[in-house]
Amino acid sequence: MNKKQSLDIIVLSNTINDEIYRMNIDCINSLNDSEKGRHIINVLLIESNKQSKYFYPDNVQQIIPDENFNYNRFMNVGIRHSTADFVALCNNDILFSSGWFSEIVNFAAEHKNVLSFSPFDPANKYTVENYRIPNVYYGYGVRKEIAGWCIVVKREIFNIIGYCDETFDFYYVDDDYNMTLRKHALKHALITASCVKHLGGQVTKAVMKRESTAETSMCKTGDNWLNKNPKAMEGHKKFHKKWGSQRSIAMKNRFFKILSFLNKKCITNLVY
């Protein structure tokens, strides 16, 4: 076991009823039980409901921003309030298993050049079968290596990539993070020994309800199915405006693999 580390875990929530409050409490209790004092863990709960009257354990700081919900902006509020060695960007629909953070800390201590990590959900339907073998997998696959519902980073990463891009208010935030890591030639590791359970879809359902965009029709874009609602389409357009067409992104990513193999980190910033 490495020395005790500190973790500020930023949890986004819209606590509009007792059901969501219970989900928050389950998330926080599982987090507090997961490490048993091995590390210092504090929760920054960024609350969307400005009329929220709910209360939380002592290690939870509830912050209610004045502005309307924007996923990345609210994450940035949490990041600016954080002071810990590690920062976790999380949804509120997660249950944490014993030692999940210790596994990331132990790996990070031996691989100091890695600044970004994801825990592993064995029930993740997007995870390929090979990931079930306990190991560490480097990559940038959204909903695969990069689990947007829980990303853990070393604090110094923000000195390199800056804060979350508030252009993205919900959809495509993990896709943008993926491209940002590539741009700065930063490795991301999926730690399969670090286990959590993602209840799945709770945040998305809440956002869709809040925005009243519950359309479920689908349109096909290349090989990807895109949920056709105004917010999703808006995020899709913003992503490609920032990073280029699907073909352009594919070419950049192929070039990135070559540069990574050659260890030419200084050039990747020009590519993206």
The token pair at 175 is 């896709």
What is the rounded end-to-end Cα distance, in angstroms, of the chain?
Answer: 38
As a whole number of angstroms, the distance between CA 88 and CA 153 comes to: 6
Written as tens digits, the pLDDT of the chain (272 aa) is 568 999 999 999 999 999 999 999 999 999 999 999 999 999 999 999 999 999 999 999 999 999 999 999 999 999 999 999 999 999 999 999 999 999 999 999 999 999 999 999 988 887 766 676 778 999 999 989 998 999 999 999 999 999 999 999 999 999 999 999 999 999 999 999 999 999 975 554 554 454 544 333 334 444 344 555 788 889 999 999 999 999 999 998 888 888 776 666 655 666 67
The token pair at 36 is 């048993």
Cross-strand bridge partners of residue 86: 7, 154
Residue 269 pLDDT = 66
Q: What is the distance, to the nearest Å, from the Cα of residue 220 to the centroid of all Cα atoms in its chain?
A: 25
Residue 252 pLDDT = 86
- The domains found in the chain, sorted by start residue, are 6-205 (3.90.550.10), 215-271 (no CATH)
Residue 262 pLDDT = 67
For 257-260, the CB contacts below 8 A with 24+ separation are: 259/185, 260/185
CB atoms near residue 60 (< 10 Å): 18
147 three-class SS: coil
As a whole number of angstroms, the distance between CA 251 and CA 247 comes to: 6
The beta strands (E) that lie in the chain are given as 6-13, 40-47, 60-63, 86-90, 94-96, 116-120, 136-138, 150-154, 188-198, 218-221, 224-227
What does pTM read for this prediction? 0.86
- In residues, how long is the chain? 272
Residue 126 pLDDT = 78
- Encode burial over 75-87: b for 16+ CB neighbours within 10 A, e otherwise: bbbbbeebebbbb
